């Protein structure tokens, strides 16, 4: 996922190239998992010792979208996100990123949507940014990481944010990152390959077993990468449900009810094993087309979904219709 300095500088040069938007076909795909790297964001993370972002620009996104028959891509940040010890700086950078994304939506009508970033785990700052992002910028939803330090999204301290997003019936997209436990692994396989999928599973568990998902039923949750390892660990989740305390309060409708309400994207989860496991939990109505661009391509996802031999109406739902029902403003 990292790039060298030459590739990074080439990407910054490409960012200056603005390409006129092409008209999207009304039947085109909707990419729910598509990353952006605003220049100020890239500069901020490099200045703080993070690896530079991949080569990216709006033009590069549009080229990939056109190759993959993608009408609309919903923009979001990938790790490291805006998680910084300096809360004031995190608030400022979140605002900068969201305004950049909103400008892309405006500059390329119909081609982009936006999942706005919040300066989590700063609750007060997040509440302010929710108001600005959803009311002023008209973002399509909120984009969060699966954990912040040692706190997963079911943490009781985040309840004021969930209350507000539940009131708004907001869509909340989540993306994994390296959890606090696993930042210094030495065995050669990066945390993104293994621990990220596990962090998605951890945050699903935290939302379900703390009762957060049941208490805030109007939030529409999206989990990246087919729900991480959760579909493969379903029997363990069911055992936890069977033995948990306060089950009637935390899971009044049961574990499977909550898991089947969530949405799951296909980024890096479009191979036969992942799809088969996920389809034991949900129907195609809860699945969303996602590419993980620029780390992966639309071609990879398309070939994986085609190999699954979905019925035509189910494939159309995954690639387009489910996202447009969830985010009807994308039709505009």
Task: Show the CA angle centred on residue 283, arms to residues 224 and 112, nearest 5°.
Answer: 45
Residues of the domain holding 160: 27-331
Question: Is 10 within a domain?
Answer: no
pLDDT in tens, 239-252: 899 999 899 999 99
Q: What is the pLDDT of residue 6?
A: 38
The answer to whether 93 and 44 have CB atoms below 8 angstroms apart is yes
Question: Is 16 within a domain?
Answer: no
pLDDT in tens, 195-219: 756 888 999 999 999 999 999 999 9
The answer to whether 244 and 250 have CB atoms below 8 angstroms apart is yes
pLDDT in tens, 116-161: 999 999 999 999 999 999 999 999 999 999 999 889 999 999 999 9
pLDDT in tens, 320-329: 999 999 999 9
d(CA 70, CA 264): 18
Q: Which residue has the tokens 């943490």?
A: 155
Q: Which residue has the tokens 């999204």?
A: 153
Report DSSP state, residue 48: T
Question: Is 108 within a domain?
Answer: yes
The answer to whether 286 and 263 have CB atoms below 8 angstroms apart is yes
Question: Is 129 within a domain?
Answer: yes
Tokens of 151: 């706190």
d(CA 48, CA 84): 9
Question: Is 20 within a domain?
Answer: no
Residue 27 scores a pLDDT above 80? no
d(CA 125, CA 133): 12
SS3 for 184? coil
Domains in the chain: how many in total?
1
pLDDT bin (cut points 50, 70, 90) of residue 191 is low
SS3 for 49? coil
Question: Is 1 within a domain?
Answer: no
pLDDT in tens, 162-179: 999 999 999 999 998 766
List, in sequence order, the alpha helices (H) in 136-267. 159-167, 191-209, 212-215, 234-243, 247-250, 255-261
Residue 330 scores a pLDDT above 50? yes
Altogether, the residues listed in the chain come to a count of 332
d(CA 76, CA 234): 28
Least-confidence region, from 50-54, 210-214, 251-255: 50-54
Q: What is the pLDDT of residue 189?
A: 64
Question: Is 6 within a domain?
Answer: no
Q: What is the mean pLDDT of residues 254-275?
A: 96
Tokens of 301: 């996802």
pLDDT in tens, 70-116: 999 999 999 999 998 899 999 999 999 999 999 999 999 999 999 99
Question: Is 5 within a domain?
Answer: no
CATH number at residue 216: 3.20.20.140
Tell me what percent of the residues of the chain surpass a pLDDT of 70. Answer: 86
């Amino acid at each position: 996922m990292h790039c060298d300095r030459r590739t990074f500088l080439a990407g910054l040069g490409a960012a200056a190239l603005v390409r006129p938007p092409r008209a999207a076909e009304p039947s085109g795909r909707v990419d729910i998992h598509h990353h952006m790297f605003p220049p100020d964001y890239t500069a901020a993370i490099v200045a703080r010792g993070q690896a530079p972002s991949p080569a990216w620009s709006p033009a590069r996104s549009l080229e990939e979208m056109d190759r993959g028959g993608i009408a609309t891509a919903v923009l979001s940040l990938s790790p490291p996100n805006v998680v910084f010890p300096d809360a004031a700086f995190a608030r400022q950078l979140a605002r900068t990123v969201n305004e950049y994304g909103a400008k892309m939506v405006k500059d390329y009508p119909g081609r982009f949507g936006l999942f706005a970033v919040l300066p989590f785990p700063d609750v007060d700052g997040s509440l302010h940014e929710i108001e600005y992002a959803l009311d002023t910028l008209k973002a399509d939803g909120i984009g969060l990481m699966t954990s912040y330090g040692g706190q997963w999204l079911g943490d009781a301290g985040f309840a004021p944010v969930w209350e507000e997003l539940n009131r708004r019936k907001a869509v909340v997209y989540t993306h994994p990152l390296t959890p606090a436990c696993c930042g210094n692994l030495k065995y050669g396989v990066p945390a993104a390959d293994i621990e990220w999928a596990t962090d998605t599973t951890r945050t699903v568990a935290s939302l379900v077993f703390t009762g957060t998902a049941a208490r805030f039923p109007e939030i529409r949750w999206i989990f990246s990468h087919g729900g991480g390892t959760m579909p493969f660990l379903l029997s363990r989740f069911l055992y936890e449900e069977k033995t948990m305390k306060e089950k009637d309060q935390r899971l009044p409708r049961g574990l499977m009810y909550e898991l089947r309400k969530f949405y799951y994207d296909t980024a890096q989860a479009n191979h036969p094993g992942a799809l088969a496991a996920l389809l034991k939990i949900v129907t195609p109505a809860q699945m969303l087309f996602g590419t993980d661009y620029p780390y992966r391509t639309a071609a990879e996802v398309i070939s994986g979904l085609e190999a699954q031999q979905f019925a035509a109406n189910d494939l159309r739902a995954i690639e387009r219709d489910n996202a447009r029902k969830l985010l009807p403003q994308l039709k505009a």
